[in-house]
Homo-oligomer: A and B are copies of this chain.
Amino acid sequence: MLEKKSIQKNIPFVLPVAVMAPPPSLQDNTADLDRLRRAITANLPDERPLDIPLRRVVPLCRRFRHSRFTGVALVNDLPDRWVLADFLSQCPQILPAMALDLGTTGLEATLIDLLTGQTMATATRENNQIEYGADILSRIHQATSIRRQMHTVAPDFTDPGLTTLQQSIVFCINELAATLAAAGGMDVEDICALSVSGNTAMTHLFLGLDPFYIIREPYIPLANWIEPLEAWEIGITIHPAAPVWIMPSIGSYFGGDLISGILATGLSTNPQTRMLIDVGTNAEVVIGNQDWLIACAGAAGPALEGGVTRMGMRAAPGAIEFVTIDPVSYAMEVRTIDDAPACGLCGSGIIDLVASLYLARVIDIRGKFQHCRPDEISDNPARTAFLHKHVVLRNGVWAFVVIPSTGAKSNDEVLLEQVDLDALLRSKAASYAVLATLINQVGINFSDLAEICVAGAFGNHINPRSAITIGMLPDLALSVYRAIGNSSLQGAEQVLLARSARQSCLDIVNKITYIELNVNHEFMIRFSGARFIPHTDPTLFPSVPLFIEHKDS
């Protein structure tokens, strides 16, 4: 039980409140509910109203009587009021809550004890919605398949596709909650709170909000902020009265996952100007300090996410996450996650590979493969042998063999095809253009940044040196870069533990200036220049060797 007053800022999402009431008598005929309410409000840390939903009046008053008018109330701390969630006969030993990063491709969650702040379990799983579309665009089409054929729809109309997608993600979350509960040795209904951090479209699909206008100019979400719900309202099978915090978003392309990242990095509370980058399907960037925040997002293309490029995959066992090629000996080193047999390339692996291919002059500044003509004799026999072995024709197009087939089964080679390479270059061009456009809007230089936090599922693994080499990140000292891992999940954890964090989310939304890049002319110009390796203007990347001579492929 926490001391009154001192906890104002650190009130968890669900607060245990000691209840001690005198039993009723002829001299004190206060109704059970009023008796319970009085005993709770006497120990609440502030005077905001206490809601007691009708459906909980009978069971909780009965427990209150059974435990002789003494026990512990679990009270949800909502932005403008308290809500009674449960009544226990004694103080629980743990108060588990679930933080969730609701990714387009995968879900990652942690179980946190609200009494101590300790992490009790972690778990990940695929987003089952992939079955209905690998990317957000195709899922939104799926969720609006009837809607799109009609001029108008009735106010109460719900697209069956939206229902399907919502049920799919709710199923995933319930499974993940069950996994966490099992790992923590408790019932899933013991989980007393949930926080969800996802992009705007995923949040819409999770809540059953019509996403129709998200992808249509002028790109308007149905809702950026939904008040905390209770788990039962959306079919989440943790404690029915568990409050569900959904991270607010700012626009169709700037979602709650980024607000979570800003919260986790402390971007909005630090006096130094810093940058947060999250490169996934979109490149989302925020610059700011305690005084201001400016953000933008641009479609980075799907190159860095699994399921789109043929060999791309999530950062899972067997994914190649690290590649080097010695530019003289042409010795190649490859490392996979968990050292499992290679079966694809994750984001950091692709960036490493393309940087190495460029530095070894296997690709040129346009990203086209160099190869040996049959009659060609190189100065470097190692290079000749390497090109002969690794740069091959597949269906009339040149490709790079990362891992040759073992022969055990057909099609098990890991290949980087020209189409994958082109996708990556578009993606990195978009990322750099987003950064440069934003820096220009703010009127500072990259060198003014005290820190650049690189977030996202591959933020832990990305090699900033490789990202600089391909012109994806600006050419700054490597010490400026900090890989922060899954900041979307970290922010979700913070809102479970402290009212100040929950309030910060809403403050960030109000404070941020958002620039829509999908319609920004400057961005489109910068994007074109950034499609080369490292850039059409090499003075922007002084640390990257320049190879201007190249052969046509």
Contact = CB atoms under 8 A, between A and B. Distances in A.
A227 B58 contact: no
B218 A25 contact: yes
Interface in A67-83: 79-81
A29 interface: yes
A26 B519 contact: yes
A28 B80 CA distance: 27
Interface string A489-532: 00000000000000000000000001010010000000000000
Contacts of A326: none
A382 to B, nearest CB: 54
Interface string A195-237: 0000000000001111001000111111111110100011000
Contact of A26 (B32, B62, B217): B217
Contact of A81 (B24, B80, B213, B222): B80
Contacts of A58: 155-156, 158, 208-210, 222
A57 B227 contact: no
B66 A226 contact: no
A337 B97 CA distance: 65
Counting chain B CB atoms within 10 Å of each CB, the highest count among A54, A213, A218 belongs to: A54
Interface string A26-62: 1011111110000000000000010110110111111
B57 A24 contact: no
Contact of A222 (B32, B80, B249): B32
B59 A223 contact: no
Counting chain B CB atoms within 10 Å of each CB, the highest count among A158, A209, A217, A223 belongs to: A223
B224 A31 contact: yes
A393 interface: no
A141 interface: no
Counting chain B CB atoms within 10 Å of each CB, the highest count among A217, A234, A249 belongs to: A217
Given A54-B226, A58-B209, A207-B54, A66 B152 contact: yes
A156 B58 CA distance: 7
A233 B156 contact: no
A3 B229 CA distance: 33
B220 A24 contact: yes
Contacts of A152: 66
A298 interface: no
A32 B66 contact: no
Contacts of A57: 209, 222-223, 226
Interface in A397-424: none
A62 B154 CA distance: 8
A332 interface: no
Interface in A127-162: 152-153, 155-158
A252 interface: yes
A251 interface: yes
Interface residues of A, number: 57
Contacts of A213: 32
A222 B31 CA distance: 5
A29 B219 contact: yes
A310 interface: no
A437 to B, nearest CB: 16
Contact of A225 (B34, B51, B62, B252): B34
Contacts of A81: 80-81
Nearest to A86: B155
Interface in A464-492: none
A63 interface: yes
Nearest to A218: B26
A144 B25 CA distance: 22
B155 A63 contact: yes
Given A63-B155, A213-B32, A251-B29, A24 B218 contact: yes
A249 B32 CA distance: 13
A194 to B, nearest CB: 15
Contact of A29 (B31, B49, B52, B252): B252
Contacts of A61: 210, 222-223
B31 A62 contact: no
A80 B32 CA distance: 22
Given A26-B217, A63-B155, 11 more contacts: A26-B218, A29-B516, A31-B223, A32-B221, A32-B222, A32-B223, A33-B224, A34-B223, A55-B233, A57-B226, A58-B158
27 contacts: A25-B218, A26-B218, A29-B219, A29-B251, A29-B252, A30-B220, A30-B224, A32-B213, A32-B221, A32-B222, A32-B223, A49-B79, A51-B227, A54-B226, A54-B229, A54-B233, A54-B234, A57-B223, A58-B155, A58-B208, A59-B155, A61-B210, A61-B222, A61-B223, A62-B153, A62-B157, A66-B155
The 10 closest A-B pairs by CB, nearest first: A59-B155, A33-B223, A31-B224, A31-B221, A49-B80, A26-B218, A24-B220, A62-B155, A63-B155, A59-B156
